[in-house]
Amino acid sequence: MNAYQYPVKELMSDYIRAGLGVFVPFGLILFTDLLPLVFYIMAALIVLFGIYGLRTGLRQATALTIDDVGVRQEGPLGAIFDRRIRWAEMRDFRLRYYSTRRDRTGGWMQMILRSQDSKAEGNVGGAGGDSRGPIRIDSSLPGFDDIVRQVYDAAQEHGLSIDPTSATNLVSMGMGDGDPPPRSVDPGLPS
């Protein structure tokens, strides 16, 4: 079993952005005479960046555990953000790259995992599917490459098809051959 958590140093830029986004508009509201429209825009910015700061704090306090059964995400708000996806019930594995520059030299990756049984998604800790939604993991998490490798191995072991974009991103990380396996056809759907 491996446990992972976002360190403060990886989230520091997010905390700084949130702080500036809250305190600069707050300072403008306090120390200047603003038109009503500008006041409401500044108040909206305070709320938006405040939510962004809270979200960053939740990310820092969330722990991710990976074992032979699956992936578990546990956060400070308990059942609201706790999720578990068992390897055998994983239906979707996506690996996306988000570029910050045109030449694709800067950016980050995000892995998204979804459970197979959407009807059992409310059964946190139950015998069925344990997830209440997808688990999203950013490449700023230390050990991200190891996590992707474990998820990729589990997807291969359970015959999960991988979309072309994820296959290309896996190759850039040194995994897979870049040729996604054909998607299985659901027997209940017409071909």
Tell me: do 68 and 128 sit in the same domain. Answer: yes
What is the rounded average pLDDT of the residues 23-39? 94
What is the domain range of residue 109?
Answer: 64-172
Beta strands 63-66 and 135-138 are: unpaired
Model-level pTM? 0.72
Residues 38, 43, 46, 50, CA torsion sign: negative
Tell me: do 51 and 25 sit in the same domain. Answer: yes
- Say how many C-beta atoms besides its own lie within 10 A of residue 115's C-beta: 25
Number of domains in the chain: 2
pLDDT band at 18 (very low <50, low <70, confident <90, very high): very high
Percent of the chain with pLDDT strictly greater than 90: 32
Query: CA-based angle 135:169:138, to the nearest 5?
Result: 35
What is the rounded average pLDDT of the residues 135-159? 89
Is residue 119 a part of any domain in this protein?
Answer: yes
- Number of residues that make up the chain: 191
pLDDT reading at 126 higher than 50: no
Alpha-carbon distance 150 to 106, whole Å?
25
Amino acid 79: pLDDT: 65
Amino acid 132: pLDDT: 66
22, 46, 61 - which closes a domain: 61
Phi and psi at 105, nearest 5°, equal -90, -20
Alpha-carbon distance 12 to 27, whole Å?
22
Amino acid 78: pLDDT: 67
pLDDT reading at 131 higher than 70: no
